Chain A
Amino acid sequence: MAEPIIRTQDLTIMFGGHTAVDHVNLDIMPNKFVSIIGPNGAGKTTFFNLLSGQFFPTSGRILFKGHDVTDIPAHLRTRLGMGRNFQISNIFPDLTVLENVRLAVQARSGIHYQILRHHRKYSRFSDQAMALLESVKLSGKAAQPSRFLAHGEKRKLEIAIILALEPEVLLLDEPTAGMAVEEVPAILELLARLKTDKRTILLVEHKIDMVMSLSDTLVVLANGRLLAQGNPRQIMENEQVQAAYLGGIAP
């Protein structure tokens, strides 16, 4: 069996007396679409923040591609191959849509400390950014400041930004959060397209029906603990999960 790309060992974080993530041991296998589900307050986003380096755990370890990254800051985890979005759209509002993606391409290329050359000299960055915008169907708005985008478009822009980082692991935190119903199918279609590529996708989602068909594996968190994991059918049939999360929804 292949090595897991992400492994957490007894991962725990406490805020004051509250244990938000409680001894989670989880292996994420490469090139799988894994969805983390659970009721509100289950610790999904906190778990994500631990993986991406926004929070540091109280105890436990995180291994990425076999290396211990527990104490590594966020920007270095990005460079190692993790790319994440945020539940609340996180873009550069006053910069143009194209510049948002171009900055990500530039980051990926490693051109960080170059103060005397004009950024337009690196035309391949802009070309690549434009191609990515085309892939999420935003190229028509490339010249607009990104704050003028509709909510759903901002989420798409964020996905383009993360794709520009060419991450091995995509960490997506509720990409459809706060989205109008009619905007959701476009994002789902985009997620389905991402899945066909060779990459690991880790998705946090509140709406379980949305991820059923997309996911290879479902991971259920409840009260900060790992409750169950398995393929979608196993999870649906799991009585513990039904009791804790699905409640009255499942028969």
Chain B
Amino acid sequence: MPDVSLPTRMHKIRGLLSLPRSSRTVPILLLLILVAVPLITPSRSMLNLLTEIFIMGIFAMSYDILLGYTGIVSFGHALFFGTGAYMTGLIFARTGPKLGYLFLAIGGGILLVTVMALIIGYLSLRLKDVYYAMITLAFAELFFIIAEKWRSVTNGADGFSFNVPAVLQDRVVYYYVSLVLLALIVVFLRRFIESPTGKVLQAIRENEKRAEFLGYDVLKFKLISNVIAGVVASFAGVAWALQQRFVSTGVMTVDKTIDALLMTTIGGTGTLYGALLGSGITGMAKNWLSELAKVHPIFERWYIIFGLLYIGIVLFFPGGILGTLMRIRSTKNKPSVTISAGD
């Protein structure tokens, strides 16, 4: 009798923990479509737009690690994005457009961002909620001002342009490069949030005190979250600089962080894919609305329209688009879940 019941019980537990199988089909299908896009359309602007969406999607996903998975609101996340972008820009501007220097930019970015994330995190992550958000705002402004004033290096808000290796200048090649980067980061971040450490982050988001009284060192976990989110954001910054071939203090602004915050909230926090969806919607809407400017000048102020869209989503879909969809699906499945768990 026991040798029958134990495996069944274990099987039941596995069943309870595993996600519906379709959670993998959608991303893979989407990836295949995206791989095919350059074969279907030769439109340069389309490829550029998608590349931008991928890169901002990486940035937004890194923000979701903080906001959606650890439950911390940061206004200084662009700091890490900007560090990656400046690292790339400065190295290429001062040396030459050789591929080897790219690895220097990536490696240097990882190192610098890790140190920054640890120091800033150590100084600020002890504070809770609003106070933490305020400290990150202060750090963001501090680094923005440094970048602004240190004109001999950064050329301030005017920025500077630089050449990138010839192979990366090809739009189709760079489209695939950024798509591969995106896919790798999705795999890595999914792995991370499903790891024992990632699960503890979600526990901290839910109830910091309880996590602490389970014996988890909350500050250390928040630091890990901050470093991983920071490093991923710096990758996005590197990719961004390579696409734009231009860096200015714009990459460091609080606006940039707010962009990631909006994308994550629109798509759905704590879902990872929601951040990507948010990046897609934001990118498409921006593009579409600025094209409508030819029809009527009001659309030049696309940010206003976007603001209305954002308010609508926050009011009517508090879980974001993906979050709301998932909730609908889980309520639909609920009776079957209860039965399978109850018997």
Contact = CB atoms under 8 A, between A and B. Distances in A.
Contact of A116 (B191, B211, B224): B191
26 contacts: A52-B213, A75-B214, A78-B212, A90-B207, A95-B203, A98-B13, A103-B199, A103-B214, A104-B214, A106-B196, A106-B199, A107-B214, A112-B196, A114-B197, A115-B195, A115-B196, A115-B197, A115-B224, A116-B191, A117-B196, A118-B195, A119-B196, A120-B194, A127-B13, A142-B13, A144-B338
B206 interface: yes
Interface in A88-127: 90-96, 98-99, 102-104, 106-108, 111-120, 122-123, 126-127
Interface stretch (B14-22, B76-84, B110-118, B254-262): B14-22
B9 A130 contact: yes
Contacts, number: 127
Interface of A: 52, 54, 74-76, 78-79, 83-84, 86, 90-96, 98-99, 102-104, 106-108, 111-120, 122-123, 126-127, 130, 140-144, 161, 165
Contacts of B211: 92, 103
Contacts of B341: 140-144
Given A115-B195, A115-B197, A126-B13, A74 B342 contact: no
Given A75-B217, A112-B197, A115-B195, 17 more contacts: A84-B213, A90-B210, A91-B210, A92-B207, A107-B200, A112-B200, A113-B224, A114-B196, A115-B196, A116-B191, A118-B195, A119-B199, A126-B14, A127-B13, A141-B341, A143-B338, A161-B214
B337 interface: yes
B143 interface: no
A98 B16 contact: yes
Contact of A96 (B14, B16, B191, B340): B16
Contacts of B200: 103, 106-107, 112
B191 A165 contact: no
Given A99-B199, A107-B214, A114-B196, A120 B207 contact: no
A121 to B, nearest CB: 9
Shortest 5 CB-CB contacts between residues of A and residues of B? A78-B215, A92-B206, A107-B214, A143-B341, A143-B16
Contacts of B337: 143-144
B203 A78 contact: no
Contact of B195 (A92, A104, A117): A117
Given A90-B207, A92-B203, A123 B218 contact: no
B101 interface: no
B268 to A, nearest CB: 13
Given A75-B218, A119-B195, A130 B13 contact: yes
B310 interface: no
